Structures are given as C-alpha cells and as structure tokens.
Structure 1
Amino acid sequence: MAMKRLVVAAAVMVIVAACSSAGTGGTATSAPPAVAAASVSPTPPGKPETTTLSIAHSGTDDFDTTNKAYFIKLLQAKGFTVTNANLATADTALRTLVSGGADVYIGSLGTVARFTVAAGGGVKVMANDIKATDYLLMSQKTIPDVPGLAGKTIGINSPGDAGDTAARACLQSSNFDLTKATFVQIGGTSARVAALVAGKIDAAPAHTAESLTALAKVNTLKILVTCADAIGPILEAGITSSDAWLAKNPNTAQIVVDAFIDAARWAATNKTEFVTLSKTVTPDLDDAIRGPTWDIFAKDGYYAQNGGMSDALLTGWDKLAITTREITTGTVPDHKLWIDPKYVNSYLARNGTKPE
C-alpha cells in the first residue's frame, strides 16, 4: 500500500513539474462500546422547522473539503440560506455552536468528545463524512527518519483537530515518543506548508493535494510518513449540533444529515464533477494535481458513504483518541452522551447502504 501510494505521488509530481515548467504519548486503552443502531422507520423527514443554517468550522478550505461545498449547494437547492463561518480553532467553532452562535459544527470528533468530558453533554455528533486520512507528514529533507524528529518542531492547526491527531498517530505508528517533539499551532494546511517552505518548522501534517504541489515546487521537503498507510481507517470529521437545536428542529436536522451523506456519496463517486467544483474551493491548486488526488481518495475510501457510524469506525476512533491523548482522561465518554446515530440510521433505512 505504501509503495503504491508513493508511486502515485511520484507520478503526480512529474505531471505537476511538467505543467509548472510550462499531545504526548499514553498507554490507557479504555473505550466504550459503540452506540447501538436504533430501529428506524423509512419515513422521509417532514417540513423543515427552519430553512436557515449557520455552520461553524475551523481550518482552510482544501481540495478534500469540496464535498462540504457540494453539501451547501444541496441545501441551497432545497431553499436553505446557509452561512459558513471559518473560526480560529476547532474549540472556538464548537463553543460558537454551544453558545447559540451557530446551528452546526463541522469538525473533528475529538473536539466534541473533550467538550463532553468537561461539560457532561449538550451536543451530539449526527454523522461523519470522512473515514480515512489524506494527510501526509511532511518534513524538511534534512530529517532522515521519524526518530530524527526528536527535538524538532511540528506545526499543527489546533490541538486535537484532524491534522494533529493524524500526525500524532503517524508518529506513534513508528513508536516515536511524542514528548520528544514540540507541537506548535501554525494554522491550516496552507499556513503549515508555507511555514515548512520557509524553514520555520521541521515537519507538519498536510493534505495530499497541497503536499504534492509543494513537493513539485521546492526540493527541500519530503514525505516522511503516509498517514493513511500508517494508521488505517480513522473518523476525521463529522457534523454536530446542540441538544437544544436538535430538539427544536428535528426535521431540519434530518434534512441536513441527508444532504451531508448525499454530499459524501457524491464526492466518492463523481470524479469529474468533484474536480470541477474543487476549482471554486481551491482555485490556486494546480489542475494537474486534482484528478490524481481524487484517485487516491477513491483508493483509500476517504469519504464515508454510510454516515460513518459503524461500530468498527467508532470503536477504532475511541482507541486512537486514547493512544494519541486526544482524550487525556483515560476513557472516552459514553457515546450516548455525545453521539446520536438515529439520523444516519433513518437515512440508511430510506436510501440503503453502499459498499465501503
């Protein structure tokens, strides 16, 4: 798998070059059982209680978030008015939801789980749309291998977000002691890649498309670890709302989740349309990168076509959250406090499951 991905990456770099010339470690392992699937009648949602939706998230819009752009387009086609606020950190985005400043939060499960540990509940993950990682752990060429990161600086967006978790998991897969590196908050993928190119940091997780673009433009960086090969399936992002909003807007919530999963299915199966829409999301990305990067997504099963609520995915996330210290209490909070699979179950009852 790793060799295949590196061959693909090398091929992409050749294409682009031609076009251009033209936390800390932990040992606790306690995790709760996954939420049991509820019996759901295949009844479509009724009239929405509201047709306005405010989204809070954190991080740059990257090639892989093209499905989020399609999700918004789907809601707009249903008559929704959608606002999309990009905030400084994942924690800030979730706090905005909790305070009533947003209707949904799109981002990492770790942020929601940590909030639940602190507050005891109040929010629910309704669905997940990314079940693999496209992060590559990039480094300066002067770093010979993973042990060579001892004493070095690793750039992340914010603690506990998807990139931070992927980076820590990548390093742990190589038995690296996370306490031997310094993690510094830089910003989204674009900011981290810029910091790498400028030599301000030694390593950073970066999305595949942006990584390959950087590799084609400068000769000072390299792929240190391919995270998908190192850690396997991982729930990276989902959609969450507050218990209060869900109680007031049950039909709207189901419509939103339906569109969220529809967008993931579209992203997983419509290469040409995805690539076309991606040009509005990442207009500065080299077009030669787009198709081959989507091919990597397809190979890795990047998008969760069934809502990302399976026992295997949830328990896998639990274990990873503990070993990477996303959750520092030694145990993941009871899923019933912060995950509600009924929206996904309803969607699947009406639309069936897809092979993944």
Structure 2
Amino acid sequence: MKTSAPTIEDVALHARVSISTVSNVLNGRETRMRPDTLERVQQAITALGFHPNQSARNLKTGHLAMIGLLVPSIANPFFGSLAREIEAVANERGYGVMLCNTQREADRELAYAQALMAQGVRGMVIGSALQAQEHLAPLIERGLAVVSFDRTAQEAPWNMDYVSVDNQRCGELAAEHLLALGHRHIVYVTAPLRSVSRGARLDGVRKACSAAGAQLHVHIGDIPNGQIEMEMAELGRSAAIELQALHSDATGYIALNDLMALGLVSGLRQCHKRVPQDISVMGIDDLFLDSYMSPALSSVRQPMPELARAAFERVLARMSNPTEQAHSLVFTPELVQRESTARLPPLS
C-alpha cells in the first residue's frame, strides 16, 4: 500500500492529463487552459492532498519562492510575533516572506498587494486592521491567494480564507479569571469598536460578568491621532486615572490588549494604587514582554505558532486550488496567570 506523499505524476494520472499540464497549473500558467481541464487538475490536487516540493523547485530555478505578509503596524509586538512565526514555517517549506507595513491604510494595503502580485507573488497573509477588505476582491478574482489573519467571515470577502483566535472566548477567559478570584466589580477598557474582533472580546466579558451577576463598567477610549501602539498604552493610562475618580470601588480591570494593560498599570500607579494588592489587571494576547513587566502581566494567550502555521498552509492550499471553498479556522485561547492578578481579600 502506497504511503509516500503524492507526486506531480500522481496528480497527472488522477486528473487524466499530462505532467506538463499539472506543472502549468502549479506555476500559474493556466490562462489558455480549458476550464474543465483546470478543474480536473485542481480537484486531483485537493483529493490527493498534493503540495509541490518547493525546495526542489528553488534549486531548479535558482529563485526563492515568496509569499507576502501584510501587517498594519510593525511597531506592534503582536504582528512582530506573527512575522517571526510565519517566516519560520515558510522557510520549512522552502518559501521566503516579503513583509509589508500597511499603516492601516486601504490604499497602501492594495498597492502592496498589487506590487507583490506584479512581482510574481501568488499568495499572501494579510493581518489587516481595516473594517472591510472588499478592495482586495479584484485581485482575488485574478487568482491571488489571500488568507485573512485575525479577521472574521463577516469582515472578509466571501471567497477569502480566514484564520483567527476565538476573540469572544478571549474576553470570557479574562473575565472568568477575575471572577474566580472573587472580583465582582470589573472594568473593561477598550478602543473604539471598529472591528468585529474588538466587539467580540467585549461580548465575551459581558457574557461572563452577566452569568456571574457581577457589575461591569465598559470604558471606550479614543485614539485621536492614529498612532495606535503608542495611543493604546496612553489610552490605558488615562483611562485608569479617569476611572479611579468615577469607579473607585472597581477591583478588577481588563484591557482590550496587552499594550493597553501596560498603560493601565502605569496609570494606577500614578493614582497610588498597587497591582495586584489593590486592583488586579488582565491583558489579552500574551505578548512576550508580559513576563518582563512589573508585576508580570496576566493575559490570555493567542496560540501564535498554530495560527501562523494554519495561515501559511491555507495560502499553499489556495494557491494550489483557487476555486476551493473558503475555510474559516478559529483557534482556542488559553489563560496565562502571572503576578498582576490576585484573589480579592475578604472584607474586614
């Protein structure tokens, strides 16, 4: 019984075409091919689970195959972590990665995608911060394989794959952790709800607090100048100062993300509040710097290696079969307790 990986010869035999025809499909040279022939090859690739040996192809051509990675900000450690993991898994498969910083601008995102496609890049992962991605639809229709990272089906074009953590569960885990420690007045600090993922995290916090009968105050801050990473931290700092005047009896704070949580800790210190002795603080994302904060930040971890691998594998699958049905992959987050959260002391 054959157990080795399928070869290009296997695909040709399964599709009842020549090896050169399969090679043309794999290399994007199918413009003059009959639609039924193209469909048979793509179906054979999917049925056999075939992935081309890119390392061998690189040796033959002398060129390193590339995929694109578009991120909204290289200043955000979250996307730095994504880039590192995507590059690692791509290198394993004989691919390089071209990194583009879109600065959260639709025109820039589209321009980078067009430029990469013009250079022969056939697939990319897009970690977009934009509310909609319809501007990419014409490129997808021309055969560009796009996987949307940290987005949802509601935000992505119908034929775009997406890979994301379960953001509602992120919010639930953060709130459930504080509730388990005895906190019954919780504050959730977030940025404007301009994406489904932000709204989902808030929904998760609300769900957990409602189930426990706990009091929840939601503080939605502003990011007026578009300097997201810096202003996320500043939003947290200023929110902590403002909230101490309005909700001084709150004992547990949850931030939209770890950058905002860093600002919360700073603002609480300015108000002479101790973390976690007086107030517990939770972040979300689990950035590498969380362990180096003082106190070390409790957070909700996104499984970045698994997310990155899934995104890359979907790019390969989409490049092999552009007409394949879109996939939605949602991963489960994990609670990471460190030093910034503590059990609420009993009333004296």
The TM-score normalised by the length of structure 2 is 0.40
Point out the structure with max Rg over C-alpha.
2
The TM-score normalised by the length of structure 1 is 0.40
Q: Highest relative contact order (Cα 8 Å, sep 6+), 1 or 2? A: 1
